[in-house]
A and B are shown apart, each in its own frame.
Chain A
Amino acid sequence: MNRAFRLSLGHAVFIVAFVGLWEFMSARGILDPTFFGRPSGIVAYLWRGFVADKNLWKDLFYTILAATIAFWGGSVAAVFVGLLFAMLPRLHKACEPYLTLLNSMPRIALAPLFLLWFGLGIGSKIAVAVSLTFFIVLSSTVAGIKGVNSDHLILSRALGATPSQIFFKVTLPSAVPIIFSGLRLGLVYSLLGVVGAELLAAEHGLGQVLAYLQSTFDMDGVMALLLLLVLLGLSITVVMNWIEHRLLVWQ
């Protein structure tokens, strides 16, 4: 048995024991299921949601759709603005105080405003998520471009590189790892923004389901939803790791 296998076996045993203990204590009345739910109830809820009634698919779809749109929109805009700032340092300097101001606002607090402007559909949660993702990706883009090695610039200038050659052959590739770590964080935050906005009010979405379940004291459902969100966040990390590995072989 190799180490990795033993380790995953250990985790599996722990999780089974944990869930078993939880179920056992709920059955015996030591843990109150009205506050903590119970594993069998959670499984039953998920079964109904995805297999019997199939009502959760739609909410899952809306949440993922909104997070994806917000991530792409927010990061493309942020990378673009970051590059623009790199080319026009004076524009960057002029905009900086306003960006700092906006960035220091707790973005979830904007959700009521966005709900008013964009309604209960997908627009308002995308707006909240973009407001988070954009700033994260922007600041990592700016940091990545500033972090370029000055030796590389001197060498390129001595070789007679044009500004656009320097940008595409040196500055941009050297910024990619930092931009990428911003994108990874940006994706996590777009999910956060979407779910946060849905909790407040929305037609569809996991956050909205969660708020409803909480208001009706359906703890099995609440726990099931939290589990779903964890799995969603986890798959984001796995996918981003995979892309990073392919993209940055040289690191």
Chain B
Amino acid sequence: MLQQLMSANSAIELRDLTMRFGSQTTSSVLAVDRVSFSLAPREFVSLIGPSGCGKTTILNLLTGLLTEPPEGDVRVLGKKPTAGNPDIAYMLARDSLLPWRTTLENAAYGMEVRGLPRSERETRARELLKQVGLGDFADKYPKALSHGMRQRCALARTFALDSPVLLMDEPFGALDAQTKLTLEDVLMKLWSEHQKTVVFVTHDLAEAIALSDRVIVMSARPGRIVADVPIDLPRPRSVRKLQADHRFHDLYAQLWGLLEQGVAGSE
């Protein structure tokens, strides 16, 4: 019944998703409250909201990493979430590179876990490292890389998986402003070349607007959707050039108002 309600052609579909942690205990936490949204294939959507509003929880629910079951329905390419779903590539806030592996071996790690043959992994990893600008660093260990370079390597690892759906949890949250702009441009380039469906979690409004087709604004905990705003800036975009675009600033002002409203509404 519910399945019929779901539109057949969406890549990601959340319907009345509610997540309560520790529901068996007295101190249960309502993290996500009746959240519904969907993504068309190859759409880039940002989730933005105050810290603790359940953004990471939503991504974890999409990957099937959580042990407690949610209420409502979640579909990724029509399938229920299972841990290790090959359709999904997950990128965490911290680069989580394995320090005992070289850049090349780290870029190939995801493919290795998923059982791709060695020669194919290496070719793809080298190709991706070139695309993120780390071609000359293939044999370096993570300790020799800067923050920005480490995150580039994590991007290479994520895109090398060639999964149709990408979940990114504040991937540039820890970077300085300049490095961040550079990496956002790298991400835009990869995304337009690789044609992925992306859910991008951030608490940086400018970043959300610059990258996305739509920005979903969430309220403070329990996380609810406050607004779902299409970003009609033309593509291809240069994140750096957008900083001077007045439409970018109009959208910023509009979304900022919604975000404030979401924080105030739950207090």
| Chief secondary structure at chain B's binding surface | loop
- B91 nearest CB neighbor, chain A only: A155
Q: How far is the CB of B148 from chain A (nearest CB, A)?
A: 18
| Chief secondary structure at chain A's binding surface | helix
| Of A149, A158, A170, the contact of B84 (CB 8 Å cutoff) | A158
Q: Which residues of A contact B85 (CB under 8 A)?
A: 160
Mark contacts of B98-109 with chain A using CB atoms, 8 A cut-off: 1 yes-contact digit, 0 otherwise: 111100000001
In the bound assembly, the distance between CA atoms of A216 and B142 in angstroms comes to 60
Question: Do A158 and B63 form a contact, CB below 8 Å, given A169-B113, A249-B141, A251-B143?
Answer: yes
Determine whether B92 belongs to the interface, using a CB cutoff of 8 Å to chain A.
Answer: yes
Q: How far is the CB of A113 from chain B (nearest CB, A)?
A: 42
In the bound assembly, the distance between CA atoms of A159 and B63 in angstroms comes to 9
Determine whether B69 belongs to the interface, using a CB cutoff of 8 Å to chain A.
Answer: no
Q: Which residues of A contact B34 (CB under 8 A)?
A: none
Residues A158 and B90 in contact, CB atoms below 8 Å apart: yes
Number of interface residues of B (CB under 8 A): 24
Residues A250 and B143 in contact, CB atoms below 8 Å apart: yes
Q: Which residues of B contact A91 (CB under 8 A)?
A: none
| Of A151, A161, A176, A251, the contact of B96 (CB 8 Å cutoff) | A151
Residues B83 and A155 in contact, CB atoms below 8 Å apart: no
Question: Do A160 and B65 form a contact, CB below 8 Å, given A149-B96, A151-B94, A155-B92?
Answer: no
Residues B141 and A158 in contact, CB atoms below 8 Å apart: no
In the bound assembly, the distance between CA atoms of A176 and B65 in angstroms comes to 27
In the bound assembly, the distance between CA atoms of A250 and B142 in angstroms comes to 8
Determine whether A40 belongs to the interface, using a CB cutoff of 8 Å to chain B.
Answer: no
Q: Which residues of B contact A99 (CB under 8 A)?
A: none
Q: How far is the CB of B202 from chain A (nearest CB, A)?
A: 18
Determine whether A157 belongs to the interface, using a CB cutoff of 8 Å to chain B.
Answer: yes
Determine whether A139 belongs to the interface, using a CB cutoff of 8 Å to chain B.
Answer: no
In the bound assembly, the distance between CA atoms of A174 and B101 in angstroms comes to 11
Mark contacts of A73-111 with chain B using CB atoms, 8 A cut-off: 1 yes-contact digit, 0 otherwise: 000000000000000000000000000000000000000
Interface residues of A in 128-157 (CB under 8 A from B): 149, 151-152, 154-157
Determine whether B48 belongs to the interface, using a CB cutoff of 8 Å to chain A.
Answer: no
- A177 nearest CB neighbor, chain B only: B100
Interface residues of A in 207-251 (CB under 8 A from B): 248-251
| Of A165, A173, A249, the contact of B113 (CB 8 Å cutoff) | A165
Mark contacts of A9-50 with chain B using CB atoms, 8 A cut-off: 1 yes-contact digit, 0 otherwise: 000000000000000000000000000000000000000000
Q: Which residues of B contact A250 (CB under 8 A)?
A: 99-101, 141-143
- B59 nearest CB neighbor, chain A only: A158
Q: How far is the CB of A157 from chain B (nearest CB, A)?
A: 6
Q: How far is the CB of B89 from chain A (nearest CB, A)?
A: 8
Most central of A161, A170, A174 by chain B CB within 10 Å: A161
| Of B86, B92, B101, B113, the contact of A161 (CB 8 Å cutoff) | B113
Q: Which residues of B contact A159 (CB under 8 A)?
A: 84, 90, 109-110, 113-114, 161
Q: Which residues of A contact B63 (CB under 8 A)?
A: 158
Chain A residues with CB under 8 Å of chain B are 149, 151-152, 154-161, 165, 169-170, 173-174, 176, 248-251
For the complex of A and B, the 7 pairs showing the least CB-CB separation, nearest first, are A160-B84, A151-B96, A158-B90, A250-B141, A159-B113, A250-B100, A161-B113
A-B contact pairs, 19 of them (CB 8 A): A151-B92, A154-B92, A156-B113, A158-B63, A158-B65, A158-B90, A159-B90, A159-B109, A160-B85, A160-B113, A161-B84, A161-B113, A169-B98, A169-B109, A173-B98, A176-B100, A248-B100, A249-B141, A250-B101
Q: A149-B96, A152-B98, A250-B101 are in contact. List 14 more A-B contacts (CB 8 A).
A: A151-B94, A152-B96, A154-B96, A155-B90, A156-B113, A157-B65, A158-B63, A158-B83, A159-B109, A160-B83, A160-B84, A165-B113, A169-B113, A251-B143
